[in-house]
Amino acid sequence: MAVELDVFVGNTTIMDEEVYQLWLDGYTVNDAVKVRMEGGVLEEFEASADVLLSDTMDQYRTFQMCERLLHSPAKLANQLLFQIPPHRQAILIERYYAFDDAFVREVLGKKLSKGTKKDLDDISAKTSVTLKSCRRQFDNFKRVFKVVEELKGPLVENIRQHFLLSDKLARDYAAIVFFANNRFETGKRKLQYLTFQDFAFCAGQLINSWTIGAVDNMVEDMDVDLDKEFLQELKELKILITDKDLLDQHKSLVCTALRGKTKAFNEMEARANFKAFAFETFIEPCRSDRWTASDMRLYLTHYTNSAHILDTFKHQVVWDRYMGVIKSCIFKMYHD
Amino acid sequence: MPGKLKAKIVAGRHLPVMDRASDLTDAFVEVKFGNTTFKTDVCPKSLNPQWNSEWFKFEVDDEDLQDEPLQITVLDHDTYSANDAIGKVYIDIDPLLCSEAASVISGWFPIYDTIHGIRGEINVLVKVELFNDLNRFRQSSCGVKFFCTTSIPRCYRAAMVHGFVEELVVNEDPEYQWIDRIRTPRASNEARQRLISLMSGELQRKIGLKVLEMGGNAVVGYLQCFDLEGESGLVVRAIGTACTLDKLSSGSAPNTNTHVHPNTAPASNACNSPSKDGKEPVFGEDLPSFSGPPTPFRALPTSSSSPPPFSPSKPCSRQSSSSDTDLSLTPKTGMGSGGSAGKEAGPLKTLLRQQTQTALEQREFPFFTLTSFPPGFLVHVGGVVSARSVKLLDRIHNPDEPETRDAWWEEIRQEIKSHAKALGCHAVVGYSESTSICEEVCILSASGTAAILNPRYMREGCLDIGSTDHRFEEPSPPSCGFCHIPYDELNMPFPAQLTYCYHCRRQKVPDVLFTTIDMPPEAAVTGKGCLIQARLCRLKKKAQGEVNATAISNLLPFMEYELHTQLMNKLKLRSMNALFGLHIQISVGENMLLGLASATGVYLTALPAPGGIQIAGKTPGDLSNEHHILTIQKRINDTITKNKELYQINPPELTEEVVGSPIPEPRQRSRLFRSHSESSDELSELDLSHGKKDAFVLEIDDTDAVEDIHSLLTDAPPPTGFYSCNTEIMPGIYNWTTGVQMFTSVRVFRLSNANLTNQGLNKIFTDLCENLLKSFYFKLRSMIPCCLCHLNFTVAVPEEELIQVAVTAVAMTFDKDQTQEKPADKPVTKGCSETEEQLQFPLELCADSSSITTQTSSKISGVPESTNVSPRVSSLERSSPLPEGRSRSLRSNRSFGGSSVPVVKMTPLSFLPGTRIIKYLGIINMFFIRETTSLREEGGVSGFLHSFIAEVFAMVRAHVAALGGNAVVSYSMKECVLMENPNKNQAQCLINVSGDAVICVIETDQESMPSTINVVQTCSSGADGAT
């Protein structure tokens, strides 16, 4: 059919969620038609391939026209061009800002710069997420990053208000922004087994407890930058390691508490000489020693509590702020 | 000094970046009306400027108020060079001139630029103060209401139907002026938009004057069209039906006389017949001068007997309206009143004659643009009358003056009138006019349905309570009366197979009935209806001038004949016997003619069952041929059986004796009256012989015929769960729910092969239409069960090898479980609560998301604490520790705050199911041009048109919302002219849309429904008694 022009415009904008997903996933019109045909829409609704092609093209055009609005979702609500029911708007936005875990895992902690954008084709090849979709996701990260960068107030709320996202998605974006800002390396080989959700959880913990925002909620970047004062105070915790008395005292307390409660006691004992927890020095060995998750939980609980009993240990508040996060992060990260 | 127009520019938002350096815009606004211009201050460096201007006041004549639009231009201030225009808004202030319509225009309007499309929005307030005009010689007609709706508007009662009004204005097309060579495309487009806006205003004003002259106060079924003639000019013409309408107060409306037949009497009927809520518009004479009891007919004061209320100082019409009055409407004795069909018909017709005679002293054409009527108004329907005429535009002597075109239309209307007369009818209803232009050739077409109207409704005044009584003296029951032949059976205008009415058994009915009107809601039908289309292409040689016109004229009768045959065949194939809403469009191109006939087929219980279709071969001896014929015959019979099932057509079996016809007419014929002026003055009557009595024989004598039969069978029925029709509502479906989706779709097909045959072309054209329908079904599949209503196809041949089909329709959901008659309770939306919610008025589209928007603005100025009560906002409490003062300033700031977009529904129908129209706010009549010089970048011609149509919708919605409305009814896209030049990366498109802005409210079950149901039930039992 030499159809030169073919448009369909509804007063209420018609959007098929399946096609929207295909568009978001970066399928070309023809590929999308193929996928839809395999999906069985045709048999379901005695239509021909032409009909499907025409429908897909129409929808793709609509999405392209909407894309500009989706870049600042607030506009979608008071623009006049498309009449879209509110619940549909919410779906459009939420889906547009949704991302692939595989993709985000690759860029997490990297600088959201042009350089990274150039590497997207490699990431695309590696994650088998189409380049088009990679670009959209990357641009979304960057857009959110730029907008919230200079805002006061809580990070998650800012994201949620500016991009009208669900709480869950806003938290994920907060994590992405947090990692991008602090450039935490997440690409190391040993960290490969961790999912984005693990990191997102940790970021959430860090944001809640370790950033400036946890103390003062009216500062710029309050949730993005770690509380410098706190980091200073952390140094004082080293006394647990550097002070031989304290170390031994703490160690014996932990060991007493743990004795008889776990089979893996021996190894635990061995590891009771504590350092500041870092991933390589704690989780990795424990994993190789096949601690169970409950062992880990037990150990950390006692480890935290024992410190409180130490008379000479003066930094209880900082210790709690430190260990609270460490504990929950380690629980989260400690899996196969 | 008859009026003061006041405008205030409040704010702008989402403006485009005009200064690349700062990524901002220094915007200001020019407000222009007539020759007066005001300017706002420049709002520097903002994409969301706040002007909060003073009130700009224009003191103007009301004549100008009617003609001129308010013109708002948004510009970017530039210190060193000329200011750049961002875009414009034209606001038609006509709705403010009528006390019953809108009182203020206030809202966000898209800023439109003919090159860039919509570029941000502007918030404007407009008011009008009108002073009483005591001048009798005025040229304005403020206060006359206009309605696109082709029935009596829902919240009005027709006190009097005065009749046909028409007007035509001509101007030079700015695109063809010499200056166009040196000005920018933008300037040219804007000149055109402005001119057409002015011409529409002038046209409306002039028609309004005619209405006032007739003693009316409104125009119903207002149909305005543009003819882009090119070199010879730009014509804007309009027709309508003048009425005197009384507003019904919603509370006191009498609920007594709902004429509803049991078949069509479900609760939802409240929406699909004009008798909604029992607010019965009744036709009658209710002039101010009229007092006392209804006088005998002869003494009836008509508008002509009372002094004309206004005597215009100059002739307001360029129409030769005084001429040709000798051609009286009165049926000639031989035709009309001789031996009439029923015994009551004799005096009735005498009555009619007298009535029409008095009426005729005032009006020349007894035409009505209405397509549905108050019950009892339509007495008999004769059939479709149509006339076409081929004209040469370059032969107009005085192109700037309207006389020539007036004379052309005059000629056509006279023909229509004489056709109606030949059918024994004194009026034409469902009347419409159209043109098709290609280069210098123009085909003018007019069509309508010949009918006899009830004079009683023109005689009596308020019939609010009384009309039920009249039903008993009515010669025929309303469910079948309109089918009874209006002509004399012994002296028939054409041979036809008559039988006694299958419903009342008292009067004669024809075997098939074709009409251009909507099916009367009280008509008795069997099963459901369906869309029937006849499509046809005819090649023609390229030619110039007279030769071309002659060639076209010669082709026209053949095309009409074939379209008619196709319709008849398809009707029989579906086992139906009547067509409603018939619309035949013939479009001319350089090397072909396109014909498209659309109608809604129905099985009218009153009419005889259609016979089957029989196939006959020309050469009976040929065995293989014989076999072939048998297979085709079988396929046809199977299709008929299948269709009967599909459309639930199970007419009650009738005994043969009743069917007997007193007329020994061996051949069954039906005829379509048509003619065209280039041929002789005699009527060229097409007799479509149908062979034997109840079978319709198709002869296969050549391959063409075989093709024709194949194409008959290729029309796929709509998929399960779908119905389609081109009338307001689908016969046989009554319980509409509130799901509504209006859409416009355009397809252009490029013919690749230069050596196409008629057959090949037909196939392509048929496929194009069929595929469009299939696409609709597919796209709207989530609405099942649903019906595509008012499917309006428009075909055009924009270029030599292009066929363009544009469709506007509405998909409406209905309740499947209650498709059978008389649902006891209101079909409350089951799957459509969302849509229902959207309709609440006034409704904020996104209470939720907009409040979030409000929050969003905290980035700039703070978070208002109590803008909207939504769960999401309240959960954000901790995010708003901002100073009180800032949030307050934000709240008063209109550009953010509670600005949410109100939902505006659009429908080509005169109602929205499940809602009640409480106010008509005025007519929407908008014309836009869009042009691009970067076609590829805008997504090709599809992308270009897609965004343009979306923009047009957006602008219509914005205007309706600014008037305070929440819906557009009787919406239509009159014109969609697309010109493209992909090689130059250019395209241009013109779109004209119209409709009625309304406020409608959801019909709540508790309040209005129970009473309506009661009324319906009591009345239907009453109707039973009457029949």
CA distances for A200 relative to A134, A149, A154, B851, angstroms = 19, 18, 16, 28
B748:A4 CB<8 A: yes
Mean pLDDT of A50-71: 92
CA distances for B126 relative to A97, B90, B123, B530, B961, angstroms = 41, 12, 10, 46, 13
Judge whether residue A127 has pLDDT over 80. Answer: yes
In A, which residues are within 8 Å of B763 by CB distance? none
Using CB atoms within 10 A of its CB, is residue B702 exposed (0-12), middle (13-18) or buried (19+)?
A: exposed
The DSSP 8-state label assigned to residue B425 in this structure reads -
3-state secondary structure of A13: coil
Q: Check if B121 contacts A (Cβ < 8 Å).
A: yes
Nearest to B745 by CA among A53, A11, A64: A11
Question: Kindly report the CA angle at B778 between B774 and B782, in degrees rounded to 5?
Answer: 145
* Residue A220's pLDDT band (cuts 50, 70, 90): low
Q: What are phi and psi of A239, to 5 degrees?
A: -55, -30
Domain boundaries of chain A, sorted by first residue? 17-85, 101-210, 228-334
Question: Which are the contacts of B336, defined by CB distance < 8 A and separation ≥ 6?
Answer: B330, B349, B353, B421, B424, B426, B487, B488
Residue among A61, A82, A86 whose CB faces B942 most closely: A61
Nearest to B768 by CA among B787, B753, B754, B748: B748
User: Hey, which residues does B228 pair with through a beta bridge?
Assistant: B234
A83:B901 CB<8 A: yes
For chain B, list residues with pLDDT below 50: 251-351, 353, 356-362, 459-474, 655-695, 819-899, 1006-1027
User: Hey, which residues does B673 pair with through a beta bridge?
Assistant: B385, B685
In the numeric block, the tokens 């397509």 are attached to B371
- At B175 the pLDDT is 82
**Nearest-CA residue of chain A relative to B849?**
A77
pLDDT in tens, A77-124: 888 999 999 889 999 999 999 998 888 888 887 778 777 778 888 888
pLDDT in tens, B114-154: 999 999 999 999 998 877 655 555 667 777 889 999 998 88
Question: Which are the contacts of B1027, defined by CB distance < 8 A and separation ≥ 6?
Answer: B477, B479, B504
Using DSSP bridges, classify how beta strands B612-617 and B695-700 pair: parallel, antiparallel or unpaired: parallel
Residue among A6, A85, A151 whose CB faces B747 most closely: A6
Using CB atoms within 10 A of its CB, is residue B655 exposed (0-12), middle (13-18) or buried (19+)?
A: exposed
Which B residues, 792 through 811, put their C-beta within 8 Å of a C-beta on chain A? 802, 804
Nearest to A82 by CA among A56, A98, A64, A95: A64
In the numeric block, the tokens 């001896």 are attached to B621
- At B413 the pLDDT is 93
Question: Which are the contacts of B987, defined by CB distance < 8 A and separation ≥ 6?
Answer: B931, B932, B935, B941, B944, B978, B979, B980, B981
Question: Kindly report the CA angle at A290 between A284 and A293, in degrees rounded to 5?
Answer: 90
B845:A2 CB<8 A: no
A74:B856 CB<8 A: yes
Which B residues, 12 through 41, put their C-beta within 8 Å of a C-beta on chain A? 13-14
Distance of CA A274 to the CA centre of its chain: 29
- At A156 the pLDDT is 84
Run of H or E including B998: strand B986-1002
A78:B899 CB<8 A: yes
Question: Which are the contacts of B456, defined by CB distance < 8 A and separation ≥ 6?
Answer: B376, B470
**Nearest-CA residue of chain A relative to B782?**
A16
How many Å apart are CA B18 and CA B40, to the nearest integer? 18
- At A31 the pLDDT is 93
**Nearest-CA residue of chain B relative to A81?**
B954
How many Å apart are CA B21 and CA A73, to the nearest integer? 25
Q: What are phi and psi of A186, to 5 degrees?
A: -120, 0
Nearest to B70 by CA among B79, B84, B85, B60: B60
Please tell me the distance in Å from B69's CA to the nearest CA on chain A: 22
Which B residues, 874 through 893, put their C-beta within 8 Å of a C-beta on chain A? 876, 878-879, 881
Judge whether residue A217 has pLDDT over 70. Answer: no
In B, which residues are within 8 Å of A58 by CB distance? 779, 946
Distance of CA B68 to the CA centre of its chain: 25
CB-based contact B22:B143 (threshold 8 Å) = no
What mean pLDDT value characterizes chain B?
73
Nearest to B448 by CA among B388, B510, B515: B515
In B, which residues are within 8 Å of A57 by CB distance? 942
pLDDT in tens, B64-102: 888 889 999 999 998 777 888 899 999 998 888 877 677
Rg of chain A on CA atoms, in Å: 25
B774:A77 CB<8 A: no
- At B653 the pLDDT is 58
In B, which residues are within 8 Å of A161 by CB distance? 852, 855-856, 858, 876, 879
Among A245-249, A281-285, B231-235, B1004-1008, the least confident range: B1004-1008
Region at A48 (left for phi over 0; alpha for psi -120 to 50; beta for the rest): beta
In B, which residues are within 8 Å of A45 by CB distance? 719, 777-778, 781
CB pairs < 8 Å spanning A and B = 178
Outline where B50-120 has alpha helix (H): 62-67
Mean pLDDT of A22-33: 93
Please tell me the distance in Å from B761's CA to the nearest CA on chain A: 13
Query: Is the ipTM value over 0.85, yes or no?
Result: no
CA dihedral B336→B341→B346→B350, nearest 10 degrees, is -30
In A, which residues are within 8 Å of B847 by CB distance? 86
Residue among B121, B778, B848 whose CB faces A80 most closely: B121
The DSSP 8-state label assigned to residue B68 in this structure reads P
In the numeric block, the tokens 């025929």 are attached to B476
Q: Is the torsion defined by CA of B723, B729, B733, B734 positive or negative?
A: positive
A89:B951 CB<8 A: no
Taking every pair of Cα atoms in chain B, the longest distance, rounded to a whole number of angstroms, is 100
A81:B781 CB<8 A: no
B947:A1 CB<8 A: no
How many Å apart are CA B913 and CA B735, to the nearest integer? 9
Rg of chain B on CA atoms, in Å: 29
CB-based contact B306:B358 (threshold 8 Å) = no
For the entire predicted model, the pTM comes to 0.79
Question: Kindly report the CA angle at A298 between A292 and A301, in degrees rounded to 5?
Answer: 140
Residue among A8, A64, A82 whose CB faces B779 most closely: A8
Question: Which are the contacts of B339, defined by CB distance < 8 A and separation ≥ 6?
Answer: B488, B489, B490, B491
pLDDT in tens, B422-479: 888 888 999 999 999 988 899 999 999 998 887 765 544 433 333 333 433 445 566 7
Interface probe for B, chosen from A78, A151, A216 (most Cβ of B below 10 Å), is: A78
Residue among B781, B849, B939 whose CB faces A61 most closely: B939
B13:A3 CB<8 A: no
Helices B623-646 & B545-573, crossing angle to 10 degrees?
A: 70
Residue among A10, A64, A80 whose CB faces B901 most closely: A80
How many Å apart are CA A287 and CA A281, to the nearest integer? 11
